[in-house]
Structure 1
Amino acid sequence: MKLLEEATLQQLKAELENNITLYQHEQPFMVKRLSIIEYENLSSKLNLTPDSPSKYDAENIQIFHEKFRDIPIELASEESFWSYFSHVEFWEYMQIRWPLKNDTDTSSIRNRYFFGKDRPLFRHGIARLWWYGHLTYNPVLDDPYHYTKVAFKDQDRARLLIETVNISRNRVALFATLDVLLTLDNWTVEGKIEIIMGERENVIRPLMQFINSVGGVMIWDLLSPEEAEEKIMSFIHQLIQDNIIVFKKSQVLI
């Protein structure tokens, strides 16, 4: 596996303000700087659509994670590893998935091409493909990426789930949460729900807080998947009682 040297990585960060136009070039500028004679354009392995950059996120996570599934956690936590990918072999993908908003958009570059103490690696344009796959992958299922697809029905949902510590660090809590959210999705598709009063602010965020608070007094790993789902569903039932989730009058919740 290739990595950027630490000195090169720090120099790139230090020069970012002056180099911003280089991040709009069709070809990766680091190829010349690193005197790379030949490199593989791994972007060609992913689905790319400029008109809707996030459309194939779930599919690309699966493709990427399957290819790099066996890399060690230590390497997957290395900024120099992911920054090499974002600056060289996945340059075309980065240009399409994370285009700069304007000629002064240094924040996007810092968030998507680098990460550090104040920028979570889940925001990195390439690292996120592996980490979302790693955390939602379940090899015991017929479709190991079932939970990846559930999470990425909504980008904000996926981000909140993964960035909530007591969920992302615990697959029992994560999978149970996704099972409950899938139930909500199915209720909506089936026409059972009249309205959800602000899903993000009144359902998803409070649900994350609930799971964090539960994780503060008990260990999710001690619960079976069924017990974990039941505990999370109890929170959903409270939202129903509070009329945050409103069912059609013809529907009876069992």
Structure 2
Amino acid sequence: MTLIYFTKDAYKLLKKDLVNNKGNYYSEDPWLEEYFATAKIDEYFKTSSVVVPNINLMYSGDDDEAKNQDDLNNIRLLYGAFKDKITPLQASDPMLWSALCHITYKEYVLKRWKKDDGTVRIDQRFFATEGRSSLCYYNAISRLWWSGYLTYDEEREKSNPYHLTETLFSAQQIQKDLFDQSMSMNKTVVKGLLMALKRIQEETGNASTPVFRQCCDSYLNHYGAVSVLDSLAAEDIEEIAFEFMKKNVKAKRK
């Protein structure tokens, strides 16, 4: 398939008119073309020159375990199909992900992100913004690409390059703890943190290791204030984070 982008005028109008359009998102009938024609916007999306394989995203259940497994599988599918086709700069464009959510993957978004009452946070899941939280955590499709990009381990391409992605999705809270951080779009920092967390999980058997957020929130942010994290290798960050988490896991057990 060829990647598409919303035009800025179309994107702005959809966001502005979200309340009036709410019912359309849950309808099985196509509505965008008629909606934009009424608004006298003839061209509401643009076709890029980027061609990617057609992929069907998976959805198998509502419990956290099923969601985590689906997310992992969908990251492998989507990032695997897109990783050599678009750059991080292109992947920072909200118009791309918003269009894919509205047009290509609408059914998936509705299934994956429905709440107990059957509704979806349309403003978060269908729309993307340029912010870190939106791209990495909230938008239904961009989060798959960015999670893949930030955790894909090129050094393990012949075995399992998604081993750190598995650590990231071992518990829902870990994703939020990580992507709340300003440093979370730094691939080297993310790799180091997740390598440390993986070691702690293997030692403690606790997938949701509570000290991970403490490490991200206070320790590494403080460490970064006195040392430049950007200048460290992933292995250095791994050791710093691992020693902190190991110490604090022991302290919590006493």
TM-score, with length taken from structure 2: 0.79
> Which residue in 2 is equivalent to 1:84?
99
Question: Which amino acid in the other structure matches residue 87 of structure 2?
Answer: P
Displacement of 1:65: 0.3
Q: 2:90 aligns with which of 70, 75, 87?
A: 75
The structure having more radius of gyration, on CA atoms, is: 1
Q: Is the alpha carbon distance of 1:47 and 1:234 closer, same or farther for their aligned partners in structure 2, counting shifts above 3 Å?
A: same
Shift of 1:204: 2.3
8 Å Cα contact 2:55-2:78 kept in structure 1: no
> In the alignment, does 2:174 pair up with 1:157?
yes
Q: Is the 8 A contact 1:165 1:212 kept in 2?
A: no
SS at match of 1:56: helix
CA offsets 1:200-234 (integer angstroms, 9 cap, x no match): 3xx12211121122122222343344432221122
2:72 is equivalent to residue 58 of structure 1 = yes
Q: What's the offset of the Cα at 1:19? A: 1.2
Query: Does structure 1 conserve the Cα–Cα contact (< 8 Å) formed by 2:147 and 2:165?
Result: yes
2:101–2:126 Cα contact (<8 Å) kept: yes
CA gap 1:225/1:205 in 2 versus in 1, 3 angstroms = closer
Rounded to whole Å, the distance in 2 between the matches of 1:199 and 1:218 is: 25
* Alpha-carbon separation, structure 2, partners of 1:222 and 1:82: 31
**Helix, strand or coil: the match of 1:115?**
coil
Q: 2:244 aligns with which of 217, 231, 235?
A: 235
C-alpha deviation, 1:26, in angstroms: 2.8
Instruction: Show the counterpart of 1:21.
Output: 23
Pair 1:206 & 2:214 matched: yes
Contact 2:92 2:130 in 1 (8 A): no
State the secondary structure of the residue aligned to 2:15.
helix
- Answer with 89-98 or 169-178: which moved more: 169-178
Question: CA 1:165–1:88 in structure 2 vs 1: closer, same or farther (change >3 Å)?
Answer: same
Report the CA distance shift for 1:29/1:101 in structure 2 as closer, same or farther (over 3 A): farther
Q: Does 1:145 align with 2:162?
A: yes
> What count of residue pairs does the alignment treat as equivalent?
230
How far, CA to CA, are the matches of 2:34 and 2:75 in structure 1?
Answer: 29
Unaligned 5+ segments in structure 2 are: 38-43, 45-52
Instruction: Look up the match of 2:9.
Output: 7
Any idea what SS the aligned residue of 1:45 has?
coil
Partner secondary structure for residue 26 of structure 1 = coil
Contact kept, 8 Å, 1:28 with 1:87, in 2: the verdict is no
Cα deviation, residue 32, structure 1: 5.0
Q: Deviations over 1:55-105 (max 9, x none)?
A: 4111111110011112122221111111110001011111111125558x6
Read off the aligned partner of 2:73 and give its amino acid letter. Answer: E
The 3 A distance-change label for structure 1 pair 227 and 80 is closer
When structure 1 is superposed on structure 2, of 112-121 and 61-70 the one drifting more is: 112-121
- 1:226–1:131 distance in 2 versus 1, CA, 3 Å: closer
TM-score calculated relative to the size of structure 1: 0.79
> Structure 1 pair 43/21, CA: closer, same or farther in 2 (3 Å)?
farther
Q: 2: CA distance between counterparts of 1:44 and 1:2?
A: 15
Gaps of 5+ in 1: 37-41, 247-254
Structure 1 segments (4+ residues) deviating >6 Å: none
SS in 2 for 1:22: helix
> Matches of 1:29 and 1:188 in 2, distance apart?
51
What is the 5 A alignment of 1:161-240?
A: 161-166=178-183, 168-189=184-205, 199-200=209-210, 203-209=211-217, 210-240=219-249
